[in-house]
Amino acid sequence: MYARVAKFEERDPSLTDKLIERAREQGPATVPGAKGFLGLLDRDRGTSVSITFFDSEEAIRDSEQAFEDMAQHFPAEMRGRRSSVEVSEVTIVEGDAERAKAARVSSLEGSPKAIDDSVGKVQAETLPKVRELKGNVGVIGLADRASGRFTVITLWESADALRQSEQQANRLREQAAESGGQKIGDVDRYEVAVAQQLSGVRA
């Protein structure tokens, strides 16, 4: 499966609750061909990440007009400015993402040629340790083969559980980067605002 990852910024924080309500009713999960949707947001920074899952890259390309049409239901001040749209391969899906209330999104950057090795090491060495952490309810891994960036989304039952895992998460991230010969990129924390139809999402 593949994920269409759209990032937004400069959103009006006062409209956050309306954005969440509308995303649940008229958001990406309603796009033809979409198999699931994960909506992440940072209320304080006015940023958000919209992750929509599809069976193929072709299905994502075919959906672009539907996304443009859907955007008409979201005023610019509500959704913010779209800063990027990327497509990644879904390489890890563990746990029950629909239980998540908070997420940590970490990027590991390296050579495109080494991305399969990186994914394999995270699956074998890092994933079991993450799943043992108190409050973890799942992990999603997204691989961008063109850039060599591997994004790991760890999912937590609460914002408190996410905060309490910070020290262990930092250590595991450093170990994963060293093992895979990568460098650590962005690390962001979000509220899980919408999690729809994710039970059918597979790596």
Q: Give the confidence band of 163 by pLDDT, cuts at 50, 70, 90.
A: very high
The residue to which tokens 């958000």 are assigned: 48
- How far is the C-alpha of 179 from the C-alpha of 183, rounded, in Å? 10
The residue to which tokens 């039970």 are assigned: 199
- Averaged confidence pLDDT in the chain: 93
Pick from 99, 102, 155: which is nearest to 130 by CA?
155
pLDDT of residue 102: 98
pLDDT of residue 30: 87
**Tens digit of each residue's pLDDT (9 = 90 or more) over 3-59:** 999 999 999 989 999 999 999 998 888 899 999 999 999 999 999 999 999 999 999
> Can you list the domains of the chain with their CATH numbers?
2-200 (3.30.70.100)
